[in-house]
Structure 1
Amino acid sequence: MSNHLLVLQSDFGLVDGAVSAMIGVALQEARDLDIHHLTHDITPYNIFEASYRLFQTIEYWPSGTTFVSVVDPGVGSKRKSVVALTQTGQYIVTPDNGTLSYIKKHVGIKAVREISEVENRRKNTELSYTFHGRDVYAYTGAKLASGHISFDEVGPELSVDHIVELPVVETKVKDGAVMGAIDILDVRFGSLWTSITREEFYSLKPEFGQRFEVTIFNNDMLVYQNQVTYGKSFADVRIGQPLIYINSLYRVGLAINQGSFAKAYNVGVGSNWRIDIHRLEN
């Protein structure tokens, strides 16, 4: 059941009226909606980042919350518009373009329905092809969050198995080493968040204060190699020193105390950015 909470995410930024238009459309549908923002600073067109930010956030919201995520480089094409119902009871209104990848893998999706644009699209917008965030997603999200439509009334059910998924780098653990990808940045502080889970890292039997050899590649190009201390928090190393830590999503992070690791070494994110962590033998 919906709960009147509507959370918006996009790559629109706040420099023009796009996000405000989405809010207005939602409030036209239901003035008593409680509207919040996940972020509107997703890197333009970066579907993976949109997927990750949803995964980072949704478990902290009540069951019944409706999320609208619009990172839609294929707007106006034949890509489907959908609503997913997660295993934890939230709704995600989004293009079926890979945005649901992390949710499907790490949270679970009970069901997916295609948005019927005959019923669930703002009137007189049929010839507007480039702002589905306003005309389809915010509108449908508001109808769902307000209880004006049920999940079943969104449109026809689709197979969860057939939604679009982005390729994910599988973490490897072997012989005193763990290897994964740099998934995303802790943007404001420049820390690297990797695909390596706490459990995978713990297979190396780490102890606080222990040093590990960290190697970062962009495709086959070596970008960084150094011995890095494993710490509980950033203050476990001197200012300016690197640190391995477990982040708030229980994944391995790489940071510089009071500095930006990403800027210091020009490190990016995505499946072509690989990280290897090797236990050093005493």
Structure 2
Amino acid sequence: MKYVFSLMLALFFGLSLVARAADHALVIQTDFGTKDGAVAAMKGVAVGVDPRLPIFDLSHENTPYDIWEAAYRLKQTATYWPAGTVFISVVDPGVGTERLSIVLKTKSGHYFVGPDNGTWTLIAEELGIEAVRRIEETTNRRAGSEKSYTFHGRDIYAFTGARLAAGKITYEQVGPLLEAKVVRLPYEKASVKNGVLRGTIPLIDFHYGNVWTNISDALFNELKPKFGDKFSVTIFHDAKKVYHGTMPYAHTFGDVKEGEPLLYLNSLLDVAFALNLGSFSKTHGLSSGNGWSVQVERTK
């Protein structure tokens, strides 16, 4: 009888662990870096909510104060996580001001926790807005943090995001329902006209120096490209031409000789430019964000 009881107990705890494994993941993005304890403090708050909560890093090496970069990193990442995943994004130059603290629920069933400062621009477009709730800070705030005004990532967002991911609160308990919209950062949408593609450079693939655009493969395919076809690429900064060159459309980097340029579709299936085993951006002094635009057309 003793052994039967032990077996039943082990089975019970085993099933409990399986059930716990269904908890939603918490994914954290900041511009804090990892040289001090800020990120660890946020994770400590989350672990305090539930020690079994699965916590993952998106990035903590974002350019300080660069809300657009944070928005793009979410676009780059979120769709690969299952519905129910809770994302915390803290690139918050307006911390402590009147900007709203919200939790956005997308039509895909993902949750995004943080300041409503433009961070959700691309996610709202990509996944759609199901609902927006303002975080009620009287109930969804780390106890004893009321006098702190400059670390909402720790005191409000990590606490609220962890409680939501762990099932300690429902989405309805986050706070009052707001109008289903978020602050949007302005940017130029990609377009094609008379065989000329136009778009922006939202991000540099900084580790390798590849230049990414917002020109989708669907737009690019309107030019009916074939691998090996040559394309003229012109890049502008504040309407001033800073680069012009011709390059082939390639499957991947090794399709051209070392140091040569290529046009390819990046991991998001957007048009991008690279040098094989080199940095396209550093070689040509290119960057990303406001004021950076690109024009692509077949060579004549």
Whether TM exceeds 0.5 here: the answer is yes
Give the 3-state SS of the residue equivalent to 2:291 in structure 1: strand
Q: Could you tell me the percent identity over the aligned residues?
A: 49
Residues in 1 aligned to 2:142 and 2:273: alpha-carbon distance in whole angstroms:
45
Query: Which residue matches 1:96?
Result: 116
Structure 1 range deviating more: 84-93 or 67-76 = 84-93
Residues in 2 aligned to 1:160 and 1:168: alpha-carbon distance in whole angstroms:
21
Residues in 2 aligned to 1:75 and 1:24: alpha-carbon distance in whole angstroms:
20
Give the 3-state SS of the residue equivalent to 1:126 in structure 2: coil
Which has a greater percent of helix? 2
1:124 aligned onto 2:138: no
Which has a greater percent of strand? 1
Matched residue type, 2:138: V
Query: Which residue matches 2:98?
Result: 78
Residues in 2 aligned to 1:178 and 1:4: alpha-carbon distance in whole angstroms:
40
Residues in 2 aligned to 1:10 and 1:148: alpha-carbon distance in whole angstroms:
24
Aligned counterpart for 2:69 among listed residues 31, 42, 49: 49
Aligned counterpart for 2:44 among listed residues 4, 8, 24: 24
Give the 3-state SS of the residue equivalent to 2:44 in structure 1: helix
Matched residue type, 1:45: Y
Matched residue type, 2:115: P
Query: Which residue matches 1:268?
Result: 287
Matched residue type, 1:191: N
1:231 aligned onto 2:246: no
Query: Which residue matches 2:265?
Result: 246
Residues in 1 aligned to 2:85 and 2:127: alpha-carbon distance in whole angstroms:
15
Give the 3-state SS of the residue equivalent to 1:271 in structure 2: coil
Structure 1 residues 39-69: Cα deviation after superposition (integer angstroms, max 9, x where no partner): 1011100111111111111111111111111
Instruction: Give the deviation of 1:204 after TM superposition.
Output: 1.1
1:195-214 equivalence runs, <5 A: 195-214=214-233
Aligned counterpart for 1:114 among listed residues 134, 151, 154: 134
Aligned counterpart for 1:69 among listed residues 89, 107, 111: 89
Structure 1 residues 86-143: Cα deviation after superposition (integer angstroms, max 9, x where no partner): 1111111010000000011122121110100011011121111100000000010111
Give the 3-state SS of the residue equivalent to 1:125 in structure 2: coil
Preserved CA contact (<8 Å) 1:170 1:180: yes
Query: Which residue matches 2:5?
Result: none
Matched residue type, 2:187: V
Aligned residues: 279
Instruction: Give the deviation of 1:172 after TM superposition.
Output: 2.1
Residues in 1 aligned to 2:217 and 2:142: alpha-carbon distance in whole angstroms:
45
Preserved CA contact (<8 Å) 1:4 1:32: no
Query: Which residue matches 2:209?
Result: 190
Query: Which residue matches 2:192?
Result: 173
Provide TM-score, normalisation by structure 1: 0.97
Instruction: Give the deviation of 1:4 after TM superposition.
Output: 3.3
1:135 aligned onto 2:155: yes
Give the 3-state SS of the residue equivalent to 2:167 in structure 1: coil
Preserved CA contact (<8 Å) 1:169 1:271: no
Matched residue type, 2:232: E
Matched residue type, 2:114: T
Residues in 1 aligned to 2:120 and 2:129: alpha-carbon distance in whole angstroms:
9
Question: For structure 2, which runs of at least 5 residues remain unmatched after alignment?
Answer: 1-21
1:145 aligned onto 2:194: no
Residues in 2 aligned to 1:274 and 1:201: alpha-carbon distance in whole angstroms:
16
Instruction: Give the deviation of 1:256 after TM superposition.
Output: 0.7
Query: Which residue matches 1:221?
Result: 240
Query: Which residue matches 2:28?
Result: 8
Preserved CA contact (<8 Å) 1:4 1:145: yes
